[in-house]
Structure 1
Amino acid sequence: MTRATIPPFPFAQAFNDARLDDIRQETVQNATDLIIDFREICLSSETELIWQDGAWAEHVRGET
């Protein structure tokens, strides 16, 4: 029986405000890797809660 192992990911916090660009599997010899390409937003100022169109929205400024 083969079991998948999910190792601890030290950069998991980066996914919170990330934009997923691509996700794919790559197989080399007998191993399969999951490749995740993403962009992490780096905030340039504090987030701001605003009331917009009858609902709360979060306004952020930053760059990827």
Structure 2
Amino acid sequence: MGSGIISIENLQEKIEKTRRCMYRLYSENPSNPRVIEVSQSLDELLNELGRKLETEDILKQKAHK
């Protein structure tokens, strides 16, 4: 799959790693500006996951018709 497409499973792993990083940064220093940067990255990943899951559901519905 060298086309840059990330699987749902890989995306979920990336989300968990990013979430853990954000929690660690926050616990060390809630005022760290990196907390916001990582939080925004996490938001983007979660949005991407939502789009992928929505697309997957649509494709499954079409396959059952």
Q: Could you tell me the TM-score, scaled by structure 1's length?
A: 0.22
Higher helix share: 2
Higher-RCO chain (CA-CA 8 Å, sequence separation at least 6): 2
Q: Could you tell me the TM-score, scaled by structure 2's length?
A: 0.22
Higher strand share: 1
